[in-house]
Amino acid sequence: MAEFRTFTAVGQREDLSNTIYNIAPTETPVVSSIGKTKATAVYHEWQTDDLAAASAAGLKEGDAAGGASDSPTVRVGNRTQIQGKTVHISGTLDAVDKAGRKTETAYQLAKAGQELKRDMEKTIMGNQIAVTGSSSAARLLASIQTWLLTNYSSIATGSTAAAPTNGNGTTARTPSTAAQATVAFTEAALKATVKSCFENGGNPTMLVVSPFLKQVVSGFAGIAAQRYEAPTNGSQTTIMGAADVYLSDFGTLSVVPDRFLTMDYDSTTPTTGDQAFVLDPTMLSIATLRPFQSNLLAKDGDSEKHQMLSEYTLQVSNQKAHGIVADIKNT
């Protein structure tokens, strides 16, 4: 009698792993690093101020007091933006036995939450201006690039690039064209921006760059050359060639790669070069009007529809604390 094998056997169970492997990036370094505060209206406002220029002038003995030098604060603000995802699952899909998750609704809602956080990172690092919104248009927050005026520099050649006109979220940065973004990121450009931040009162501690520029920064002369760490327990030697910290003349910067800083991450005005952001996380905040929430929508049949959303804005406490090197060659 012939041997009975799996090729002809009936009733074999499928071998499907009970784990779902999702490699999509979920890290949001800027959102995770900056402050958190509360918004109480769709237009969130704060005040900025500055000290008078330092003076070495003296007063004569017995002089009467001079005129007052008081100056008012500056009131600025940003619009809140609503972002959301919809999950619509049939009753049958939630009921059947599934691999890798118990209920489809819970799995899809968890995934939607991760996607919204990624959307938040992309939005705040972009170049969109604030939009008031209407019954036919979404209300939009002003992204960080529309604020960075004082410590702005573009290294594009023959460029039409320009900083935002006002530095208050109402005008966008003008990016260079493809043919103009031909200059590589240099340590000199980084030093100039950090110096400008310091001269204007800032104390930045983060350098946020694209994955491509992270590799460029690792080659800067100011970063220790490739070095070796020889353990004492006989295990393998570790070669360290990455730049995680940059020691500038004005303080230490953590070098942070952001997967969402690609050359086309701004959907409204696609850029052709990379940007490097010099940031002080203590002078940036996410102001939340409505935190992440899942709302069960009206049931109209054999399914459940959930909407996950958040409403928030970006507070740039003082744009002079931050800097940007724009229109950098990215190849």
Backbone angles phi, psi at 217, to 5 degrees: -60, -35
Q: Is 68 within a domain?
A: no
Encoded tokens for 100: 């890798």
**Alpha-carbon span 253 to 220, nearest angstrom:** 13
Q: Indicate the residue type of 115.
A: E
Residue 262: band (very low, low, confident or very high) from pLDDT cuts 50, 70, 90:
low
Q: Is 7 within a domain?
A: no
Predicted local distance difference test score (pLDDT) of residue 48: 86
Buried b (16+ CB within 10 A) or exposed e, 306-328: bebbbbbbbbbbbbbbbbbbbbb
Burial classification of residue 26, based on how many CB atoms lie within 10 Å of its CB (0-12 exposed, 13-18 middle, 19 or more buried): middle
Predicted local distance difference test score (pLDDT) of residue 235: 56
If you average pLDDT over residues 72-81, what whole number do you get? 93
If you average pLDDT over residues 136-151, what whole number do you get? 96
Q: What is the DSSP letter of 250?
A: T
> 236 or 107, which is more confident?
107
205, pLDDT greater than 50: yes
Domain carrying residue 78: 29-46+74-328
Predicted local distance difference test score (pLDDT) of residue 56: 87
267, pLDDT greater than 70: no
Residue 154: band (very low, low, confident or very high) from pLDDT cuts 50, 70, 90:
very high
Predicted local distance difference test score (pLDDT) of residue 97: 83
What pairing do the DSSP bridges indicate for beta strands 35-38 and 284-296? parallel
Predicted local distance difference test score (pLDDT) of residue 331: 77
155, pLDDT greater than 70: yes
Residue 226: band (very low, low, confident or very high) from pLDDT cuts 50, 70, 90:
very low
Residue 245: band (very low, low, confident or very high) from pLDDT cuts 50, 70, 90:
confident
Predicted local distance difference test score (pLDDT) of residue 181: 81
If you average pLDDT over residues 312-321, what whole number do you get? 96
Sign of CA dihedral 148, 80, 210, 227: positive
Encoded tokens for 23: 């490699």
The radius of gyration computed from the CA coordinates of the chain, to the nearest angstrom, equals 26
Q: Is 282 within a domain?
A: yes
Backbone angles phi, psi at 34, to 5 degrees: -85, 170
Q: Is 15 within a domain?
A: no
Q: Is 205 within a domain?
A: yes
How far is the CA of 15 from the CAs of 6, 21, 99, in angstroms? 14, 16, 10
Per-residue 3-state assignment (H helix, E strand, C coil) for 274-315: EEEEEECHHHEEEEEEEEEEEEECCCCCCEEEEEEEEEEEEE
87, pLDDT greater than 50: yes
Residue 14: band (very low, low, confident or very high) from pLDDT cuts 50, 70, 90:
low
Of 14-18, 216-220, 241-245, 255-259, the one with minimum mean pLDDT is 14-18
Of 98-102, 193-197, 299-303, the one with minimum mean pLDDT is 98-102
> 130 or 17, which is more confident?
130
Q: How many domains does the chain have?
A: 1
If you average pLDDT over residues 175-180, what whole number do you get? 80
Percentage of the residues of the chain whose pLDDT score is greater than 90: 52
285-298: pLDDT as tens digits: 999 999 999 999 99
Of 26-30, 123-127, 206-210, the one with minimum mean pLDDT is 26-30
Q: Is 60 within a domain?
A: no
Q: Is 1 within a domain?
A: no
Q: Is 138 within a domain?
A: yes
73, pLDDT greater than 60: yes
**Alpha-carbon span 268 to 266, nearest angstrom:** 6
If you average pLDDT over residues 28-53, what whole number do you get? 91
Of 49-58, 162-171, 223-232, the one with minimum mean pLDDT is 223-232
Predicted local distance difference test score (pLDDT) of residue 289: 96
Burial classification of residue 15, based on how many CB atoms lie within 10 Å of its CB (0-12 exposed, 13-18 middle, 19 or more buried): exposed
Predicted local distance difference test score (pLDDT) of residue 209: 94
Contact 284, 322 (CB under 8 A): yes
What's the whole-number average pLDDT of the chain?
A: 84
Predicted local distance difference test score (pLDDT) of residue 157: 82
Predicted local distance difference test score (pLDDT) of residue 22: 55
